[in-house]
Amino acid sequence: MQLKNSGIVKDQCLIGGAWTGTPALDVTNPATGEVIGRVPDLGAKETRAAIEAANAAFPAWSGLLAKERAAILRRWYELQREHKEDLARLMTAEQGKPLTESRAEVDYGASFTEFYAEEAKRVLGEIIPTPKRSGRMLVLKQPVGVVGAITPWNFPLAMITRKISPALAAGCTVVVKPAPETPLCALALAELAVQAGVPAGVLNVVTGDAEKIGGELTSNPLVRMITFTGSTEVGKLLMRQSAETVKKLALELGGNAPFIVFDDADVDAAVEGTLASKYRNSGQTCVSANRILVQDGIYTRFAEKLTAAAAELKVGEGTQEGVEQGPLINEAAVAKVEAHVKDAVAKGAKVLTGGAPHALGRTFYKPTVLAEVTPDMQLAQEETFGPIAPLFRFHDEAQAIALANGTPSGLAAYFYTRDLARAWRVAEALEYGMIGVNEGIISSELAPFGGVKESGQGREGSHHGIDEFVELKYVMMGGL
Ligand code: ADP
């Protein structure tokens, strides 16, 4: 791995401002299997030390003027931009996504730091018109305290900046546990935060045993909030573990996104939207279209165009020019994709393109389109998290809505139509936290990202995102 500014590649954790721990756990390149770095294998004891450091740093950090915290965050944002190419190459090396996508993620991730550097100055309290002449009612907004953040591997930078930037802006201090597959991006961000002037203990990063680190973060009473992005299963576990100390929670969990194409859709736009939503990051995003519901009248035309486009996608190592789909994160991910495809085919689905591992082997799988998929198949029930576009058939709008809502998940949903009344009707009927109407890519630092039902609670991004990290304090001032 050749990086211009290799100063951002760390092999130790950041606890209380000191780089700590012995490099022990391998970090591998999913495209080649090559070991590209090592990080410490820390547990409960070191996590406790990180929490205590965060707690010790809290009074001074939360006591800064919002404008002072904003200036430090702004500098962190600028450093992320200055190191864009190195961060992108590091991400492709440890996560596998094509360099073009890694570069876009650096921009996307940094946009949260920029936005919350600005938003720090706009955490406004309230004065409530008084019900009593001798008194005044006010509402203060104060940081929740020490935050534990647990993040996934699919967006190694953005899932961190999206949580940490609003937390720091609000005046919280943080202990981050990154995914074991992609700790190097997290540590690089921490190094840049140090360079930006984030004081010792304000941001701590701990790598190692997930259960032990998670156990300490959720049980330690000094931690007042857990923010997590990952699987629904682990989210529920963290929620249960956090119950004992009644922590605040922000959870971004799995999705099972429906992507509905109505007869009156612009087919080319719908195909373009499907490609972007489905094959980006090899389908490994929680907002990726997981179930593509296509109306009878447009089914064949849409299937043909999507199949032709998917068959053209260039698969390869993320560092190669023109590659549009990289590897999956590991061989277990490929095994899950294979199991879903086999189950669907056994139950009557037809492979229009792909449907098998790619000739590159190991972690590579062909971009796939399956037709005549039905709700009894495994891939209708669970997130596949791979490059499989399963096409379901429906007859009318009511059936499409029932199919779309027929899951415990409720993160993102998409639909394509040119009928304005239908656009409103369907957007309101879908039980999802985010809706793309004639759009396949909806994430932005300016908008509230999050789900309903078992896809989680809380929102990241937009002015709502910083509210997760503040508590309201009502003050009644009497005797005036
Ligand atoms: P995925 O299957 O996409 O890896 P996970 O929910 O397993 O999703 O992982 C998301 C994050 O949660 C990762 O940082 C992972 O290490 C962490 N994690 C997994 N199990 C636990 C646990 N028991 N306690 C705390 N964190 C966990």
196 and 275 housed in the same domain: no
229 and 280 housed in the same domain: no
- What are the start-end ranges of the E strands in 186-236? 203-205, 223-229
Across 322-327, average pLDDT: 96
Q: Among 181, 252, 317, 468, which one carries the catalytic annotation?
A: 252
- Give the pLDDT of residue 2: 61
Residue 6 has pLDDT above 90, yes or no: no
Sequence-ordered list of residues with C-beta below 8 angstroms from that of 346, at least 6 positions apart, any chain:
none
Query: If you measure from the C-alpha of residue 469 to the centroid of ligand 1, how many angstroms do you get, rounded to a whole number?
Result: 22
- Is residue 125 within 8 Å of 201, Cβ to Cβ? no
432 and 459 housed in the same domain: no
Is 304 catalytic? The answer is: no
- Give the pLDDT of residue 424: 98
**Shortest CA distance to 381 belongs to which of 295, 274, 258?**
258
* Any atom of ligand 1 within 6 Å of the Cβ of 180: yes
245 and 270 housed in the same domain: no
**Shortest CA distance to 400 belongs to which of 253, 271, 254, 265?**
265
Phi, psi of 69 (to 5 degrees): -65, -40
Query: If you measure from the C-alpha of residue 256 to the centroid of ligand 1, how many angstroms do you get, rounded to a whole number?
Result: 18
For ligand 1, what atom is nearest to the CA of residue 213? Answer: 25
- Is residue 42 within 8 Å of 211, Cβ to Cβ? no
- Please check whether residue 156 lies inside any domain of the structure: yes
Please state whether the predicted TM-score (pTM) of the whole model is above 0.90: yes
Across 65-94, average pLDDT: 98
Split at pLDDT 50, 70, 90, the class of 3 is low
**Tokens 């003027």 appear where?**
65
Domain encompassing residue 166: 13-253+455-474
* Any atom of ligand 1 within 6 Å of the Cβ of 150: yes
Across 349-376, average pLDDT: 97
Split at pLDDT 50, 70, 90, the class of 423 is very high
> What are the tokens at 288?
């990726």
189 and 281 housed in the same domain: no
For ligand 1, what atom is nearest to the CA of residue 231? Answer: 6
- Give the pLDDT of residue 68: 98
* Any atom of ligand 1 within 6 Å of the Cβ of 234: yes
- Please check whether residue 443 lies inside any domain of the structure: no
- Please check whether residue 4 lies inside any domain of the structure: no
CA–CA separation, 353 and 102 (whole Å) = 27
Looking at the chain, the whole-number percentage of residues with pLDDT higher than 90 is 98
Query: If you measure from the C-alpha of residue 205 to the centroid of ligand 1, how many angstroms do you get, rounded to a whole number?
Result: 15
pLDDT digits (tens, 9 = 90+) for 216-247: 999 999 999 999 999 999 999 999 999 999 99
* Any atom of ligand 1 within 6 Å of the Cβ of 211: yes
For ligand 1, what atom is nearest to the CA of residue 237? Answer: 23
* Any atom of ligand 1 within 6 Å of the Cβ of 151: yes
Across 83-92, average pLDDT: 98
- Please check whether residue 2 lies inside any domain of the structure: no
159 and 85 housed in the same domain: yes
CA–CA separation, 178 and 95 (whole Å) = 13
Query: If you measure from the C-alpha of residue 249 to the centroid of ligand 1, how many angstroms do you get, rounded to a whole number?
Result: 16
Query: If you measure from the C-alpha of residue 180 to the centroid of ligand 1, how many angstroms do you get, rounded to a whole number?
Result: 9
- Please check whether residue 425 lies inside any domain of the structure: yes
- Please check whether residue 143 lies inside any domain of the structure: yes
Q: Which residues pair with 416 in a beta bridge?
A: 261
CA–CA separation, 255 and 231 (whole Å) = 9
Residue 299 has pLDDT above 90, yes or no: yes
Q: State in Å, rounded, how far the first CA of the chain is from the last one.
A: 67
* Any atom of ligand 1 within 6 Å of the Cβ of 179: yes
- Give the pLDDT of residue 210: 98
- Please check whether residue 153 lies inside any domain of the structure: yes
Q: Does the structure's ipTM exceed the value 0.95?
A: yes
286 and 192 housed in the same domain: no
For ligand 1, what atom is nearest to the CA of residue 154? Answer: 3
- Give the pLDDT of residue 101: 97
358 and 227 housed in the same domain: no
- Give the pLDDT of residue 4: 59
> What are the tokens at 44?
């409960």
- Give the pLDDT of residue 344: 97
Of 150, 227, 286, 455, best ligand 1 pocket probe by most atoms within 8 Å of the beta carbon? 150
Across 293-303, average pLDDT: 98
CATH number for the domain that contains residue 409: 3.40.309.10
Split at pLDDT 50, 70, 90, the class of 30 is very high
198 and 224 housed in the same domain: yes
The sheet with strand 456-457 has its strands ordered as 18-20, 13-15, 203-205, 173-177, 146-150, 223-229, 248-252, 456-457
* Any atom of ligand 1 within 6 Å of the Cβ of 237: yes
- Give the pLDDT of residue 5: 57
Residue 478 has pLDDT above 60, yes or no: yes
CATH number for the domain that contains residue 175: 3.40.605.10
> What's the number of domains the chain is made of?
2
pLDDT digits (tens, 9 = 90+) for 365-397: 999 999 999 999 999 988 999 999 999 999 999
pLDDT digits (tens, 9 = 90+) for 167-207: 999 999 999 999 999 999 999 999 999 999 999 999 999 99
241 and 313 housed in the same domain: no
406 and 311 housed in the same domain: yes
- Give the pLDDT of residue 25: 98
CA–CA separation, 260 and 417 (whole Å) = 9
Query: If you measure from the C-alpha of residue 365 to the centroid of ligand 1, how many angstroms do you get, rounded to a whole number?
Result: 24
Phi, psi of 140 (to 5 degrees): -95, 150
CA–CA separation, 256 and 238 (whole Å) = 21
Split at pLDDT 50, 70, 90, the class of 139 is very high
Of 234, 383, 455, best ligand 1 pocket probe by most atoms within 8 Å of the beta carbon? 234
- Give the pLDDT of residue 480: 95
CA–CA separation, 80 and 82 (whole Å) = 6
Across 278-294, average pLDDT: 95
345 and 246 housed in the same domain: no
Split at pLDDT 50, 70, 90, the class of 358 is very high
Looking at the chain, the whole-number percentage of residues with pLDDT higher than 70 is 99
- Please check whether residue 442 lies inside any domain of the structure: no
